Amino acid sequence: MSITLFDLTGKRALITGSSQGIGLALARGLAAAGAEIILNGRNREKLEAAAQDCGAAHSLTFDATEPAAVHAAIDRFEAETGAIDILVNNAGMQHRAPLDAFPADAFELMMRTNVSSVFHVGQAVARHMIKRGAGKIINIASVQSALARPGIAPYTATKGAVANLTKGMATDWARHGLQCNAIAPGYFETPLNAALIADPAFTGWLEKRTPAGRWGQVEELVGACIFLASPASSFVNGHVLYVDGGITVSL
């Protein structure tokens, strides 16, 4: 098997929510594989700072939860700069609270951020990909697509939705030459998990619960992303790839 199957030279990749954490790590990894990077977020200053880590990266500032802003930004970029060949739907948030006391506004915001953004950005980019007969869409799911923990039931609902929306994207768009898949990270050291990382009791539980015995490092998600973004995955569609140190396969 030729290593060129994983070469992204000449491809352009948009990663939503990529000013920090998993999104920025994936952007760096795709850049190292040869892709031209488009960073996205709502804070222009943070994006411009992050762009320095990804070569000559573009910065595309828009709110992924706002459909009009999403479509305008994507259409303008395609018209003025060129094709978006790869989309990584990474934008997301977390809010922890007991389900019986979970704030309604936090629930609605989480649904918009974690689910609606995948739909809006996915649709906007796919409309251009379909015309070209090719494209890669990678959604960021979670171990919570399959498992639940106390205090994060709404987050679990959103990530279950992302996994099933991925399957729906593949079902509708595979015939147009698109591959639509998801990466489901386990517990990784990210700003989103800062409170858990700082909790010795939780880290102790996680180390015992995970067969690999540790937190994941964001760089360990890069290989899965390159695979799903590259020609190597040309017949992979609707798949949810768990990168979780074995936590979903072990009791």
| Tens-binned pLDDT, residue by residue, of the chain (251 aa) | 457 899 999 999 999 999 999 999 999 999 999 999 999 999 888 888 888 878 779 999 999 999 999 999 999 999 999 999 999 999 999 999 999 999 999 999 999 999 999 999 999 999 999 999 999 999 999 999 999 999 999 999 999 999 999 999 999 999 999 999 999 999 999 888 899 999 999 999 999 999 999 999 999 999 999 999 999 999 999 999 999 999 999 98
21 inside domain: yes
User: Which pTM value belongs to this model?
Assistant: 0.96
What pLDDT is recorded for position 173? 98
| C-alpha–C-alpha distance, residues 90 and 163, integer Å | 13
What pLDDT is recorded for position 2? 59
Residue type, 139: N
250 inside domain: no
Assign 3-class secondary structure to the chain: CCHHHHCCCCCEEEECCCCCHHHHHHHHHHHHCCCEEEEEECCHHHHHHHHCCCCCCEEEECCCCCHHHHHHHHHHHHHHCCCCCEEEECCCCCCCCCHHHCCHHHHHHHHHHHHHHHHHHHHHHHHHHHHHCCEEEEEECCHHHCCCCCCCHHHHHHHHHHHHHHHHHHHHHHHHCEEEEEEEECCECCHHHHHHHCCHHHHHHHHHHCCCCCCECHHHHHHHHHHHHCHHHCCCCCCEEEECCCHHHCC
248 inside domain: no
Q: Is residue 146 packed enough to be buried (19+ CB in 10 Å), middle (13-18) or exposed (0-12)?
A: middle
Q: CB–CB of 26/185 below 8 Å?
A: no
Catalytic residues: 155
Contacts for 80 with CB less than 8 Å, ≥ 6 apart? none
pLDDT tens across 72-110, in order? 999 999 999 999 999 999 999 999 999 999 999 999 999
Give the number of other Cβ atoms within 10 Å of residue 217's Cβ. 12
The CATH number of the domain holding residue 219 is: 3.40.50.720
| C-alpha–C-alpha distance, residues 151 and 101, integer Å | 10
Q: Is residue 187 packed enough to be buried (19+ CB in 10 Å), middle (13-18) or exposed (0-12)?
A: buried
141 inside domain: yes
Count of residues for the chain? 251
Query: Which tokens belong to 4?
Result: 């060129």
249 inside domain: no
Range of the domain at 52: 3-243
| C-alpha–C-alpha distance, residues 109 and 96, integer Å | 13
205 inside domain: yes
Q: Based on the structure, what is the number of domains in the chain? A: 1
206 inside domain: yes
63 inside domain: yes
Contacts for 247 with CB less than 8 Å, ≥ 6 apart? 143, 147, 186, 187, 209, 210, 211
Contacts for 131 with CB less than 8 Å, ≥ 6 apart? none
What pLDDT is recorded for position 54? 80
